[in-house]
Amino acid sequence: MIRFSTRLWFVFAVWYTVGIVLVSLSLLPPWLEWANAVFLLLSGLYASVYFWFALPRARFVIAVIFFGSIAIESIGVHTGWPFGEYRYEQDFGPMLLGVPVTIGAAWLSVMGASHAFAQRFSMQHRTLVLTPLFAVWLDLAIDPVSANLKSYWVWLESGFYYDIPTQNFIGWYGTALVFSLLLRRFEQPVEETLKRRTTWLYLMLHLLFGMTSLAGGLMGVFLVSLAAFPLYIMTRGVVESDLRQQKTRF
């Protein structure tokens, strides 16, 4: 499985690099929009591999996040709860319960990346406290780009942050918190290379949506994403200290 994760990371990194170059230079043609669905599937698959090792006693959580997020999104589409009223405009691929299946992969990607990034902090209950916050932080970049620039979905309500209802971010936090409760209950330490790459996934998601927002003129979103990088650098000392302590134990 570790060898598979390395090969998967290579494929994802190549796909990501080509995509971000096209996005940064505004060269992505309409007929290549399907590539975004492949990106979500690849990132979600890599996050699943991360969870495979992080949750050795509870790998069912991977399915809970995938299908649970689709179920919650389906409720949202049909009732307006918990995210607010919206509808999907473009097809990301096969639909399940009125929701693109790739949404499940997207939630896996967000939760895996946010969980790995949270492990950079040496605070108690970091998974439970920080993972939902980092997930919402990602959505602050994902939602304006997906709704305002790409029109993947349309909000039927407005809000102060790029016309996205505040309820959406509250709903994101609540959903991520529920998933984080499961992660906190069953999580175990992960091999360092896998954890480091999944942490990079958090930054790569911010970079992708940040560059897309910059190309689309959403400067505020770009700054929101940009802020993840100094935080990553600031926590480097904590990570190195943890690694030294682990080596000392062995």
Residue 92 identity (one-letter amino acid):
F
Mean pLDDT within 25-29: 68
How far, in Å, CA of 162 to CA of 15, rounded? 29
Q: Strands, DSSP E only, in the chain?
A: 86-88, 95-96, 99-100, 153-155
Predicted pLDDT at 31: 63
151: how many CB neighbours lie within 10 A of its CB?
Answer: 11
Say if residue 28's pLDDT is above 80: no
pLDDT tens digit string along 174-201?
999 999 999 999 999 999 999 999 999 9
Number of domains observed in the structure of the chain: 1
CB 109 within 8 A of CB 142: no
Say if residue 250's pLDDT is above 50: no
For the chain, what percent of residues have pLDDT higher than 90?
76
Say if residue 25's pLDDT is above 80: no
Of residues 19 and 186, the one with the higher pLDDT is 186
| Residue 106: alpha-carbon gap to chain centroid | 6
Secondary structure class of 160 (helix, strand, coil): coil
Mean pLDDT within 37-59: 95
| pLDDT confidence tier of residue 55, bands split at 50, 70 and 90 | very high
| pLDDT confidence tier of residue 90, bands split at 50, 70 and 90 | low
Say if residue 47's pLDDT is above 50: yes
CB 132 within 8 A of CB 110: no
pLDDT tens digit string along 92-146?
678 889 899 999 999 999 999 999 999 999 888 999 999 999 999 999 999 999 9
How far, in Å, CA of 60 to CA of 214, rounded? 38
Say if residue 239's pLDDT is above 80: no
Predicted pLDDT at 191: 92
CB 162 within 8 A of CB 221: yes
Please identify which residue in the block is written with the tokens 């609540």.
174
How far, in Å, CA of 189 to CA of 193, rounded? 12
| pLDDT confidence tier of residue 91, bands split at 50, 70 and 90 | low
How far, in Å, CA of 86 to CA of 76, rounded? 8
pLDDT mean across residues, the chain: 90
* Structural domain containing residue 150: 2-249
pLDDT tens digit string along 139-167?
999 999 999 998 889 999 999 999 999 99
